[in-house]
Amino acid sequence: MTELPARRLLLVHAHPDDESINNGATMARYAAEGAQVTLVTCTLGERGEVIPPALRHLTGAALGEHRLGELTAALRELGVTDSGLLGGAGRYGDSGMMGLPDNDDPGCFWQADVDTAAASLAEVVLRTRPQVVVTYDDHGGYGHPDHIQAHRVAMRAVELAADAGWTVPKVYWNRVPRSVAEDAFARLRADLPGLPFDRVAAVDDLPGVVDDDRITTAIDGTAYAGAKAAAMRAHATQIDVAPDAPYFALSNELAQPLFTTEYYELVRGERPRERESDLFAGVEAVAR
């Protein structure tokens, strides 16, 4: 068996761009430090709303293909070289927002059999043998069906991989502490007159906002702020990043903060008594 890097991180996301928004600084930091960083994306985001007018002709499969190119460019900015689409390109379609008829498409990810999808992901877990897996909470962070399904598939894949011989020591969910979000939005509102945005999102519009005591881990990615912003800019159909300012907007045109310290809740593994600064804290780094 080929020897793997001593530290190995697997992230499971729903669509291209989710990885850069949620974990871009974390991914860039660990990749730069020599860890194996693997990303699995569950859909191509074919039903995403396109921001730039010049690209709004892209829909369906054409948009998915374009977003795959954006993802490739974003990962290049983050220094991540190991990535793939769950089940292969086009296996699972974007499900659209919750409550829309798109959710009923038999080919969409929301309609996927969880065990079947998880078996595909478990193959990646067994190949990469991560000590750490990162995904969403059981609400998908904000209720999008593909995010909820990504959570279900990731958590089930960890179980299946354990049955097949690799036990993941630590599983984290993406989080934002409420106090950090509130402070960031206060700065955003003060800075708004100098930004290319007219309106501001609300704290509860952010995925994964929870009370501070839920946070177990904070990853300082300040040194990789430029890489994260560049990765987000690579997703030009979906993200409008302010020039020279830590803010961005999605297709709703509501400004929100761009976080370079990224936060997590440990849900599998021994909960630390004090907040961690390393996803691999307490895990033996072993090449195998």
Residue 144 marked in a binding site: no
Looking at domain 8-268, its CATH superfamily turns out to be LmbE-like (3.40.50.10320)
The domain segmentation of the chain, as residue ranges, is 8-268
Q: Is 15 annotated as a binding residue?
A: yes
Residues 6+ apart with CB under 8 A from 154: 12, 118, 121, 133, 135, 136, 171
Position of tokens 């509860």? Answer: 204
Region of 206 (left: φ > 0; alpha: ψ -120 to 50; beta: rest) is: beta
| pLDDT tens for each residue of the chain, 288 residues long | 578 999 999 999 999 999 999 999 999 999 999 999 999 999 999 999 999 999 999 999 999 999 999 999 999 999 999 999 999 988 999 999 999 999 999 999 999 999 999 999 999 999 999 999 999 999 999 999 999 999 999 999 999 999 999 999 999 999 999 999 999 999 999 999 999 999 999 999 999 999 999 999 999 999 999 999 999 999 999 999 999 899 999 999 999 999 999 999 999 999 999 999 999 999 976 666
C-alpha dihedral sign at 129, 132, 137, 141: negative
**CA–CA dist 230, 76 (Å, integer):** 10
- 66 in a known ligand binding site: no
